[in-house]
Structure 1
């Protein structure tokens, strides 16, 4: 495994380090920026191959692959004056920052690859979208659960928009729990059941031999409860509203 540098150690940064190092006999050398000092020091204390560098330039100088995972509005401050030689590979993990924008900030001719790692990289179970394909970067994310290279940033933006639906799913589950509470069910009992119900859905998604439409059909009896909720709640108006929201997000991402 290559030497990995990470500038920005938030939730995704933590997940990347844990995925790269947790339970790995020959974990890679990982160099962290001092940004997010508390998290960086905690990770360095847990994993022998993780080091906290004095500054971001030291991260770059120590690494072969440099992942930039700072917030979009903090990138100019974090990357000001940074020198990245052409023998490094930069992975752009910043949401909403295109590769040509990052090139203007960094300068130089180091390869730049966009990526959408999700928190489940810590479990090495997350398929990460990359753009463009790059052998070192794709191999890195293959180890973290899988990689899906796309040819251009227009396609990348579609996947980025899909990623924006994650917290809506959690809010949906919280709404189901809240409704059960209104019917007199104790919150802890309702939440336990909802979690179990949809953990089962998550496991069924691992069966890639069946399409999503087939999975839905297999869980639904004609005229039954599931069909009733699907057809009365997720109706044409609801579906159109979701499409409108996704279209708007995609337009902003472009």
Structure 2
């Protein structure tokens, strides 16, 4: 589709605009809501094909693909009274708001699809889960790193729970940095080393010929340092604790 409307221009909205625009010879027209006014105005200054609309209805009226990217607590206010013609495609990245709830709020027969894009869509390296499969939406995300369509919202919610582990990963890295600083390293040096260490390891994830367990094994030496930390810290009890936390999050998301 050549006309994309985005209601809610936060971090994900910005990342989508940048992914659709940077290094692209023929980017689509992008219409932004005035929500997140400073970010929307900055994007419109950077990209000639991006325009800030008068209000949310103006976004819908100009777009073929209407992308909803507001916070869950702002959903009712942002979508109240919107008229969405049946020839549009509605794409929601609003966490925890079901397709049925969105359809009731909007009162439209237009296709409604949910998705879980991550900020790395700006680099067109993000695999985005969609539900249900839709050719327009899946083609949209194929251009931003790939689409992973799933058949039902129960499965979609499992993927949504996985995204809840992101900041725990960052805090893990921050804890490593704190530990090293506590043992006399300059904090800037520890921070730089930890970032470089895990950026390098992350590149191994591009090798999809090996499972994650195989990648872990390939980075270990028997009785070596990595095996020692894995078996003494990330032991069975630790794994069970993580599983319980994910189960609790899944239950919470399923109730929303």
Name 2:65's counterpart in structure 1.
65
- Map of 1:13-162 to 2, 5 A cutoff? 13-162=13-162
Is 1:171 the equivalent of 2:171? yes
What's the TM-score, normalizing by structure 2? 0.98
Per-residue deviation at 1:15? 0.2
- Map of 1:197-216 to 2, 5 A cutoff? 197-216=197-216
Residue deviations 1:159-207 (CA, integer Å, cap 9, x gap): 0000110010000000000000000000010011101110111100001
Q: What is the CA–CA distance in structure 2 between the aligned matches of 1:187 and 1:99, rounded to whole Å?
A: 46
Residue deviations 1:121-157 (CA, integer Å, cap 9, x gap): 0000000000000000000000000110000001000
Per-residue deviation at 1:2? 2.3
Q: Secondary structure at the match of 2:237?
A: helix
Q: What is the CA–CA distance in structure 2 between the aligned matches of 1:14 and 1:76, rounded to whole Å?
A: 22
Structure 1, unaligned runs of 5 or more: none
Residue deviations 1:221-246 (CA, integer Å, cap 9, x gap): 11100000000000111111100000
Q: What is the CA–CA distance in structure 2 between the aligned matches of 1:196 and 1:30, rounded to whole Å?
A: 35
Q: Secondary structure at the match of 1:205?
A: helix
Is 1:221 the equivalent of 2:251? no
Name 1:188's counterpart in structure 2.
188
Per-residue deviation at 1:63? 0.4
Q: What is the CA–CA distance in structure 1 between the aligned matches of 2:94 and 2:54, rounded to whole Å?
A: 22
Q: What is the CA–CA distance in structure 2 between the aligned matches of 1:86 and 1:59, rounded to whole Å?
A: 15
Q: Secondary structure at the match of 1:31?
A: strand
Q: What is the CA–CA distance in structure 1 between the aligned matches of 2:203 and 2:253, rounded to whole Å?
A: 31
Per-residue deviation at 1:14? 0.3
Q: Secondary structure at the match of 2:206?
A: coil
Q: Secondary structure at the match of 2:76?
A: helix
Q: What is the CA–CA distance in structure 2 between the aligned matches of 1:53 and 1:222, rounded to whole Å?
A: 60
Q: Secondary structure at the match of 2:67?
A: strand
Per-residue deviation at 1:118? 0.2
What's the TM-score, normalizing by structure 1? 0.99
